[in-house]
Amino acid sequence: MKIQVLTLFPDMFSAILSESIIGRARERSLIDIQLINIRDFSTDKHYKVDDYPFGGGAGMVLMPQPIFDAMESIGPAGKRLIYLSPKGRVIDQALICELYQGGDIVLLCGHYEGLDQRVITHFQMEEISAGDYILTGGELPAMILIDAVTRMIPDSLGNPNAHDEESFYSGLLEYPQFTQPREYQGLGVPEILLSGNHKMIKLWKYEQSLMLTAERRPDMFQRYLGRKHELSKEEQAILTNVKNLYNLEKESAK
């Protein structure tokens, strides 16, 4: 899988591309991430890439010429073209799965007050947002997408089943985690996790995930109830109990 990033600040990506899961995935050629400096394509002798907006307004806007030339240099045909923008679809796990399954990706990072609309119109770019807040540019949202998509690649994680229990991937928030020592600062580990009874441990984790989701993200819990699940009798009973505990009336799918 290839991800190409068009940015004015390629050095911002140095750390995340060389460390941890992304760094190992690149070393093993599981993902190819290329950084393209938009400024390299400026025809201005001072490498100028922005100008004042027509019609007035605060700040500067990225001009179309450097971005058009940068896009053409990488061959955009057949790739998913994304402009990181606060006006776009907000990133969630469903989108990450969609991106992973959709082939090569181009990420365009805007800066200043944005970019000339003709870039978005000409290349029919999809706009994607990291959330309802303002950032100085698209680099950080691009890093979020790269990190999340890389984790979807088979063999990128040490445990191939790690996805299945993670928050959002399963539709629920993840249950609490504990490790050594068994007691620290007077705080212990739930006895069930030390019991060796794998079935009961699994049910405990499921219940904890349900309770956390119902309490902190009732919107997610309602979506989970609306999905079809292949649940055991014990899991169905736990789901019903948690739903009743939090007064969530919507019936879960059988």
Residues 205-220 have pLDDT tens digits of 999 999 999 999 999 9
Sequence-ordered alpha helix ranges (H) in the chain? 14-18, 20-27, 64-74, 93-100, 117-123, 139-150, 198-216, 218-225, 233-245
> For a pLDDT cut of 70, what percent of the chain falls above it?
93
What's the pLDDT tens digit per position in 115-174?
999 999 999 999 999 999 889 999 999 999 999 999 999 888 765 555 554 545 578 999
> Taking a C-beta distance cutoff of 8 angstroms, is the pair 93, 169 a contact?
yes
Please give the DSSP secondary-structure letter assigned to residue 75.
-
pTM: 0.80
What domains can be seen in the chain, in order of their start residue?
A: 2-150 (3.40.1280.10), 164-254 (1.10.1270.20)
